[in-house]
């Protein structure tokens, strides 16, 4: 067949025909998306179309039509090895607004680099170049960058399409972009490029968050350029002044004083309180109230709160609505709104649908580990309740998305065209209000910003006081460590081959929420694990504090004779440090920056992470471990937000007890790699419950808890052959362990042996799975009681559940198991 050269099937991934098969050429050689595409992309029987899952992605005829994967589809496929079915093409009703986007993330890295390299006077810092692997002895003028350096820099500025990242990873990307996005020579060129990008995707009105929007130079540039940009592109750009959930109160009050000075400006639509949702909305109620009061001076003033982006603080949406509703002049925006909306709050939002709006950002929610599937998004619930809702990109360039792609993702979240039409109605009403709100304000060119008023709140004295307070925390920490006689290092520890077990889990509040049974379960398992760690001469890595699982583990480690390394941060309070820890590693500034150095140490030391419950921070640590392929397991039988996130993820590796944890610690294989060079023998079982063919049932497992491949998929029961074990005996054992079903070895009929060829995602040229397939036919009376009563069989170590399903109407199976079932039916003469 003929494939046009350079046919792009996903951003940065091109299709070609190589040695009689489809192959994917990727910008990034180690892209997981590349491997997933090669596994799932097929050619139709006629050779005229490329098919992914159940969808035609490209028609290879004279009228070439290509439907590249959106960022949501690409990231889901790479992360789950299963295609996500979204409608191809442009939805009939695509958003005309993007109310939730950030100026610094609006453009893709490639566009930023093109603007920088075509502008004299833009300098790329040496530190940035070194960070992305480009050797430079000094800062480099952007136009002098080589083509290779430009390409590498551009790719380094966007969220990768083949994985989820943590919030801290995202903030590092924004910091990496800042030498370009904050360069004064590039500000207006960026505005023009953003408007052109929006116009190409059908967006006609956009609001961008920018912390410096009311600074005199920036505001003057906005007033001088926005009218001409709108004339050129047909896109109206407006700005929200960005504040942080974690700002000092005094700082925000001074910024809001400046915003009040700028209320006559048409360029400023309102304020945006954003940032990592690691605090309650209650923490900044005075800021909300001060911002909302500006709505009394200028009706229609927008106050947006990033809330409900993650489940850590379920009151956040409710509290934002409660605080802002009493101010009738303000337009209330909830950014994200995924979690924590109770029925009463939903009703209140619907009752005030003319001024309460929820902004959904589906691509970024998946990219930032806040959702794992579209089923977790309550978009349809909001729309059906009568709440006003819109779709936003959260930074189209950063996340590789667009307004039409967000509409496609919304369809996967349960919306249909009539519900999308309600979003279009919401947009129409909003645009009408925006036009009315600007009518009584001076034209952009006729208003000049006043000089900023002197700061009333964040005075030099107050700044010094806050600095002293933070310094006191560090001094108290130093004094406490000295009193303990502890060793402290800021260098990455050298472990000299010692086994390393990293413990993370429920801390003060999450631990206090556990039942006595949960505490006893964790204590029993942990005590046995630490005895095993001591026997191996290993080291325990914790957060070094006396609270929660950390404090419990330190006492157990002392009893077992295990050395403890406490990974602390500059903000760790002196009173939190545990006197039983003798060695500390100060690895980061804040708790939210701690995950990256810790998981890299675990990966490089071939250690193991053990997660025991926990909240949002632990969920981020789990995702960070997954991203860098640090080996980790989760103890089952515990609760917490981190457990909920892990259950929703198809990568979770739950274990039941100490033996499994120690076995994982002893296993030196990198994540997902097969144990032996050459063939790795396995056994799979096709077990049929007898009946007419229409009624015959097949025993399947759902891979969930500890699956090294095809996590979450339905498959045949089976597993690897142990040393000295025959494939037949392995089949009997795996069937018993995974389903609770016992069968005599002689009942198994050999079907076939299949090996390699990429049938298992862990296959490589050096290591591959060789599966011995057996079949068995049983009667109803042979089925365990739990199978006949509820269709559910006990799930074992590799299975979240096991169940009988109709042979004819079975779901699509993992690996090549559908073909193995067909072969087994022939052998059994069914």
CATH superfamily of the domain spanning 678-827? Nucleoside Triphosphate Pyrophosphohydrolase (3.90.79.10)
Q: Give the whole-angstrom CA distance, residue 570 versus residue 594.
A: 10
- Which pLDDT value is given to residue 578? 95
- Which pLDDT value is given to residue 387? 97
Contact indicator for 453, 255 with CB cutoff of 8 Å = no
Task: Give the count of alpha carbons within 13 A of 420, CB side only.
Answer: 21
Element housing 55 (H / E): strand 55-59
Kindly report the pTM of this predicted structure.
Answer: 0.69
Domain boundaries, the chain: 7-69, 97-108+167-443, 110-157, 470-666, 678-827
* Length, in residues, of the chain: 830
- Which pLDDT value is given to residue 540? 97
Could you tell me where the DSSP H helices lie in 298-416?
316-324, 343-351, 362-367, 379-384, 396-399, 403-412
- Which pLDDT value is given to residue 788? 32
Beta-bridge mates of residue 307: 336
Sign of the Cα torsion 75, 81, 82, 83 reads positive
**Sheet-wide strand order for 268-274:** 97-102, 205-210, 236-244, 268-274, 301-307, 330-336, 356-360, 388-391
Contact indicator for 185, 122 with CB cutoff of 8 Å = yes
> Could you tell me which of 624, 601, 600 has the C-alpha nearest to residue 611?
624
SS3 254: helix
Task: Name the residue with tokens 């298992």.
Answer: 760
- Which pLDDT value is given to residue 216? 95
Contact indicator for 279, 245 with CB cutoff of 8 Å = yes
β-pairing verdict for 21-26 and 41-43: unpaired
- Looking at per-residue pLDDT, the higher value among 134 and 212 belongs to 212
pLDDT band at 646 (very low <50, low <70, confident <90, very high): confident
High-pLDDT (> 90) share of the chain, %: 56
Which two structure tokens, joined as six digits, stand for 797?
Answer: 């170590």
- Has residue 144 got a pLDDT over 90? yes
Task: Give the count of alpha carbons within 13 A of 609, CB side only.
Answer: 31
**By mean pLDDT, which of 274-278, 481-485, 705-709, 741-745 is the weakest?**
705-709
Contact residues for 361 (Cβ-Cβ < 8 A; gap 6+): 100, 335, 336, 391, 392, 393, 394, 406
- Which pLDDT value is given to residue 400? 94
Q: Give the whole-angstrom CA distance, residue 623 versus residue 650.
A: 12
For the chain, give the mean pLDDT: 88
Fill in the DSSP letter of residue 47: S
Q: Give the whole-angstrom CA distance, residue 337 versus residue 381.
A: 11
Phi, psi of 655 (to 5 degrees): -130, 155
Fill in the DSSP letter of residue 538: -
- Has residue 824 got a pLDDT over 90? yes
- Has residue 96 got a pLDDT over 60? yes
Q: Give the whole-angstrom CA distance, residue 457 versus residue 477.
A: 29
- Looking at per-residue pLDDT, the higher value among 280 and 265 belongs to 265
- Which pLDDT value is given to residue 407? 93
pLDDT band at 383 (very low <50, low <70, confident <90, very high): very high
- Has residue 74 got a pLDDT over 70? yes
- The Cα-based distances of 3 to 23, 49, 53, 62, 64 in angstroms read 11, 10, 19, 11, 10
- Has residue 5 got a pLDDT over 70? yes
Q: Following DSSP, what letter does each residue of 435-469 receive, concatenated? A: HHHHHTS--GGG--PPPPPPPSSS-HHHHHHHHHH
* Cα dihedral: 207, 209, 214, 215 (round 10): -130
Sign of the Cα torsion 308, 312, 318, 323 reads negative
Contact residues for 402 (Cβ-Cβ < 8 A; gap 6+): 201, 393, 396
CATH of 470-666, one of 3.30.9.10, 3.40.50.450, 3.40.190.290, 3.40.50.300: 3.40.50.450
Q: Give the whole-angstrom CA distance, residue 108 versus residue 400.
A: 7
Domains 97-108+167-443 and 470-666 share a fold: no
Listed in order, strand segments (DSSP E) in 614-734 are: 632-635, 654-655, 678-689, 697-703, 714-715, 718-720
> Could you tell me which of 456, 498, 684 has the C-alpha nearest to residue 602?
498
- Which pLDDT value is given to residue 706? 39
β-pairing verdict for 749-755 and 767-778: antiparallel
Q: Give the whole-angstrom CA distance, residue 814 versus residue 819.
A: 10
Taking residue 440's Cβ as centre, other Cβ atoms within 10 Å add up to: 9
Which two structure tokens, joined as six digits, stand for 502?
Answer: 């990293």
End-to-end CA distance of the chain: 37
SS3 90: coil
- Has residue 712 got a pLDDT over 70? no
Residue 61 buriedness (CB in 10 A; 0-12 / 13-18 / 19+): exposed
Which two structure tokens, joined as six digits, stand for 823?
Answer: 């072969």
Phi, psi of 810 (to 5 degrees): -70, 150
Q: Give the whole-angstrom CA distance, residue 291 versus residue 553.
A: 46
SS3 356: strand
SS3 268: strand
Contact indicator for 655, 646 with CB cutoff of 8 Å = no
- Looking at per-residue pLDDT, the higher value among 651 and 325 belongs to 325
- Looking at per-residue pLDDT, the higher value among 375 and 179 belongs to 179
- Which pLDDT value is given to residue 115? 98
User: 97-108+167-443: which CATH architecture?
Assistant: Alpha-Beta Barrel (3.20)
- Looking at per-residue pLDDT, the higher value among 436 and 106 belongs to 106
Fill in the DSSP letter of residue 497: T
Residue 210 buriedness (CB in 10 A; 0-12 / 13-18 / 19+): buried
- Which pLDDT value is given to residue 771? 95
Which two structure tokens, joined as six digits, stand for 374?
Answer: 């579209």
* SS3 track for 183-205: CHHHHHHHHHHHHHHHHHCCCCE
Residue-wise pLDDT for 316-369, tens only, equals 999 999 999 999 999 999 999 998 888 889 999 999 999 999 999 999 999 998
Residue-wise pLDDT for 145-187, tens only, equals 999 899 989 999 999 988 888 888 899 999 999 999 999 999 9
- Has residue 793 got a pLDDT over 50? no
pLDDT band at 99 (very low <50, low <70, confident <90, very high): very high
Q: Give the whole-angstrom CA distance, residue 261 versus residue 161.
A: 42
**By mean pLDDT, which of 19-28, 461-470, 560-569 is the weakest?**
19-28
Contact indicator for 210, 218 with CB cutoff of 8 Å = yes
Residue-wise pLDDT for 11-37, tens only, equals 889 998 877 778 888 887 667 788 888
pLDDT band at 58 (very low <50, low <70, confident <90, very high): confident
Contact indicator for 141, 156 with CB cutoff of 8 Å = no
Taking residue 442's Cβ as centre, other Cβ atoms within 10 Å add up to: 13
- Which pLDDT value is given to residue 801? 66
């Amino acid at each position: 067949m003929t494939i046009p050269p350079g046919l792009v099937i996903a951003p940065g991934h091109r299709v070609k025909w190589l040695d009689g098969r489809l192959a994917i050429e990727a910008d990034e050689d180690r892209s997981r998306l590349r491997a997933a595409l090669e596994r799932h992309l097929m050619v139709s029987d006629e050779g005229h179309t490329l098919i992914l899952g159940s969808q035609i992605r490209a028609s290879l005829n004279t009228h070439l039509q290509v439907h590249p994967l959106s960022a949501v589809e690409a990231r889901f496929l790479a992360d789950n090895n299963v295609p996500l079915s979204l409608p191809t093409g442009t939805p009939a009703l695509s958003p005309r607004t993007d109310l939730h986007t950030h100026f610094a993330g609006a453009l893709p890295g490639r566009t930023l680099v093109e603007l920088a390299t075509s502008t004299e006077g833009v300098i790329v810092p040496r530190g940035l170049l070194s960070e992305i692997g480009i050797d430079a002895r000094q800062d480099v003028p952007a136009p002098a960058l080589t083509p290779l350096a430009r390409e590498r820099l551009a790719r380094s500025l966007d969220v990768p399409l083949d994985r989820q990242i943590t919030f801290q990873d995202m903030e590092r990307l924004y910091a990496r972009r800042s030498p370009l996005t904050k360069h004064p020579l590039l500000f207006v060129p960026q505005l023009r490029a953003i408007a052109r990008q929006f116009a190409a995707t059908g967006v006609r009105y956009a609001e961008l968050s920018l912390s410096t929007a009311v600074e005199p130079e920036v505001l003057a540039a906005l007033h001088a350029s926005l009218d001409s940009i709108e004339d050129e592109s047909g896109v109206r750009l407006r700005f929200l002044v960005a504040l942080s959930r974690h700002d000092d109160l005094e700082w925000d009050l001074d910024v809001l004083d400046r915003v009040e000075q700028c209320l006559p400006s048409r360029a400023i639509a309102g304020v945006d309180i954003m940032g990592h949702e690691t605090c309650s909305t209650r923490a900044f109620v005075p800021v909300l109230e001060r911002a909302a009061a500006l709505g009394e001076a200028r009706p229609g003033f927008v106050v947006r709160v990033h809330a409900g982006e993650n489940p850590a603080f379920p009151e956040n949406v409710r509290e934002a609505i409660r605080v802002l509703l009493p101010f009738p002049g303000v337009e209330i925006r909830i950014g994200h709104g995924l979690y924590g909306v109770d029925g009463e709050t939903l009703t209140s939002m619907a009752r005030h649908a003319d001024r309460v709006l929820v902004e959904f950002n589906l691509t970024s929610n998946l990219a930032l580990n806040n959702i794992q599937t579209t089923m977790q998004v309550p978009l349809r619930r909001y729309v059906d309740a009568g709440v006003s809702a819109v779709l936003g990109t959260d930074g189209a360039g950063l996340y590789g998305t667009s307004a039409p792609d967000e509409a496609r993702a919304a369809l996967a979240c349960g919306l249909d065209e009539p519900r999308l039409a309600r979003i279009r109605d919401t947009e129409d009403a909003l645009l009408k209000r925006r036009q009315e709100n600007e009518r009584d304000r001076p034209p952009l060119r006729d208003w000049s910003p006043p000089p900023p008023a002197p700061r009333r709140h964040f005075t030099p004295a107050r700044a010094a006081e806050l600095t002293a307070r933070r310094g006191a925390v560090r001094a108290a920490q130093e004094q406490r460590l000295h009193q303990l006689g502890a060793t402290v290092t800021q260098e990455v520890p050298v472990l000299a081959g010692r086994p390393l077990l990293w413990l993370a889990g429920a801390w003060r509040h999450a631990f206090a929420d556990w039942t006595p049974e949960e505490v006893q379960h964790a204590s029993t398992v942990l005590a046995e694990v630490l005895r095993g760690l001591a026997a191996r001469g290993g080291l325990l890595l914790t957060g070094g504090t006396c609270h929660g699982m950390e404090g419990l583990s330190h006492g157990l480690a002392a009893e077992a004779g295990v050395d403890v390394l406490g990974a602390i941060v500059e903000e760790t309070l002196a009173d939190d440090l545990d006197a039983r820890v003798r060695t500390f590693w100060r690895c980061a500034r804040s708790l939210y920056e701690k995950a990256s150095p810790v998981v890299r140490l675990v990966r490089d030391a071939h250690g193991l992470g053990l997660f025991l419950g926990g909240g949002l921070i632990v969920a981020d640590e789990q995702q960070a471990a997954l991203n860098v392929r640090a080996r980790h397991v989760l103890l089952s039988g515990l609760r917490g937000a981190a457990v909920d996130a892990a259950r929703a993820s198809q990568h979770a590796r739950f274990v039941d007890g100490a033996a499994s944890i120690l076995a994982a610690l002893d296993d030196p294989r990198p994540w997902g790699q097969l144990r032996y060079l050459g063939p790795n023998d396995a056994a799979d079982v096709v077990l049929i419950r007898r009946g007419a063919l229409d009624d015959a049932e097949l025993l399947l497992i759902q891979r969930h808890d500890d699956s090294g491949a095809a996590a979450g998929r339905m498959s045949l029961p089976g597993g690897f052959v142990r040393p000295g074990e025959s494939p037949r005996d392995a089949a009997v054992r795996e069937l018993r362990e995974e389903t609770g079903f016992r069968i005599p070895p002689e009942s198994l009929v050999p079907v076939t042996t299949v090996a390699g060829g990429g049938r298992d995602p862990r296959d490589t040229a050096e290591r591959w799975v060789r599966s011995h397939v057996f079949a068995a036919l049983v009667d109803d009376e042979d089925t365990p009681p739990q199978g006949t009563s509820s269709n559910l069989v006990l799930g074992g170590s590799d299975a979240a559940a096991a169940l009988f399903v109709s042979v004819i109407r079975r779901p699509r199976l993992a690996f090549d198991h559908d073909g193995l079932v067909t072969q087994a039916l022939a052998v059994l003469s069914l």
